[in-house]
Structure 1
Amino acid sequence: MKKLLMVSLAFILAIGLNSCSDDESLDFTLQPDPEGLIFTNSFAANYLLSNATAANIAERFVWTPLDFGVPTEVRYELQGSTDNSVFNAISNTTDNNIAVTVRNLLDLAETLGLDADPSTNDAQGNPNNVGTVYLRVRAFTGNDGANTVESFSETVAFNVELVETGLACNPVELSTFGIIFFNGNSDPDTPLYTNEDGIHFAAINLPGALGKFRENMDFAVNFGLGDGGEFTLTMGGFGNDIPFGSGGSTGIALVTADFNNLTYTIDTNADSWGMVGNTINDFGGSGPDIRLTEDPCNPGVWFAFNVTIGADGVFKFRLNDDFASNFGTRDGGGPGELMMGGFGNDIPITAGTYNVTLDLRVQGEETYVLELQ
């Protein structure tokens, strides 16, 4: 009987130990995501900052959610630094995106010693309104205590420029000057824009032809090729036409005429957004897109004035006459809201003359405005 009792106790003890072992095997251990925190958005080359736009969103970090191996809440913390060494928390979220406001960047820029005063310079005598600040995102679990598991994104360098208050950027206006092309067409002059006396510019479709700058579609005031050759100007003259497209070549260019210094430039490397549609150019089948020009005061904002649409139709915005980068109406979005790519999301437009604005400053929040004239 005693022997049987001892065997029973041993059996019960073995079951208990095995149960403890099974319970321990159910413990969860948090492990950092081996893929890390990866951004899915791209970043601008430069960010213009001013107190007037402090509440605006300058950028939005977007990333794939992290997996720490077990079901748990993950928090994400936006951190900033002026030296890419010591980072401080700015804001946090449980979503997989977080906004970076102009105010966030202004605070970092001011800590870096930048200011918007045009009369001040850095130690080397250079204007001190330009610099680089650094941001990253930290992912962590728990209460941020000793047992917290965390992971960090790559560090992103933000090149920032404070708009100097003494150097106000004037709004763009339609210039009285345009370009006449001698290509046998009776088209009106290609319009130019201006926001500074003597400076006239526009993104244009190069016709591969000769031409001149002239005022009010009249040769009473005109500028042609100067005695200094290509990229110089002189007022008036005969036989001094300017080559807009060497050897008859066509394409897209940003043309700038400086009548103060009697020079001009034709930048064929400049990007240009345009409008393409069924009543514009048969979606690219019957000519180039309507060109939009970037606002010199607001990088990322593109515009065109007095755009005439001859008949009701639909259109999209696209970059450099190519659908590889294009914008149409946002699914479920409000008036003027855009989304990248898509099919069947063309933008409706009625016949008329418009001022067009395309705002691409914040990724994922692109908009457009059609202002009927």
Structure 2
Amino acid sequence: MNKNILKLIMVFFAIVAFNACSEDDEIQFTAQTPPDQISFTNDFLGEYLLSEQTAQNNAERFTWESPDFGIPTPITYQLDGSADFEFTAPELLAETSNLQASITVAQLLSLAEAAGLDNDEATENPDTGDLYFRVRALIGSENAENSPETLSEVTTLTVTLIATGGPEPLPVFPNLYFVGNATAADWNNDNNNFPLVRDPENENVFTYTGKFLGGDTNEFKLIENRGAWQPQWGLQDGSFETSEDLGGDPGPFQITDGEGYYTLEVDTENKISSLVAFDEASSEAYASIGIIGFGTTGSDEGWSQDINMTQSTFDPHVWYISEIELFDGEVKFRAEDDWDVANWGSNTEFSGFGSLGGPNIPSSAGTYEVWFNDLTGNYMLISLQ
């Protein structure tokens, strides 16, 4: 009998000990609110000019660093805008898992209206004022109540609504330029750096076909603005990345297959890039290429005389004009002052993929930097306003 009781006691203690060990083996993570607030990392303009004509354009791209909640977890970011500093009626501008979000002119116009701003001279409402922005970081992707979160300080942007009745402002587009010793500019970020051609149907997609220097030490990156190293784009562990997301500079592209012609395509939204060889051997060589058309003079006289472009000494298939005044109208690119030699055009303004004998290119009044590539017919008209 005593032996049976002893066995029962031993079994009881074994079960208790097993449960205690099992409970100890269950590791529980507790997320904590970060001690430091999340903060914006991009620079802001002193003033943002807004108009209905540019409503669909991107006005600003907000960037921030990832906060540390103390555990590995997905984070959802919410970018809020407000007409007042207290965020009495905040407007959710973007929700994303990325460390950046772009807002459009239309979103700023909506906030400006809520702030009582307008550009109507018949009213006493101001046309200039401040709008307010913050970013919130929340644990997970379901936005559960009582989830740990951190909130940035409020950032103020000054906006001005352009008065109606004046000339329509030209749209503002993103650009990408080459820098690096595989390119014409070398490692100088303000040396007439060649631009990539922006897809007229998708402002996040760019392409370029041309000459690159090759070798183990010949490299290049992409910058968004000449004269500024940030933001810059390159390769990081084989992926196309930007310094604004990495928090540091990405690595360069390398031309490992030797000097020659290549086609580069990049997508800044989906972070995709490709670099493939291009056979230039059978391409035509031209003594001169000019821009011609009503848009060069504002009259039909523009169709009678080319404005010659400068041929690149680095790549003879690349042509440019550093500054030219254009008028409302149409233009084309023409080789050697002769329609029968070659001419290129397309139906998209500011950038496009021209074809031989293609349609006239629409032009709007303004001062531009113009680039043309006779290998592809691609062109860029970059506003200098």
The TM-score with structure 2 as length reference comes to 0.46
Q: Which has the higher strand share?
A: 1
The TM-score with structure 1 as length reference comes to 0.47
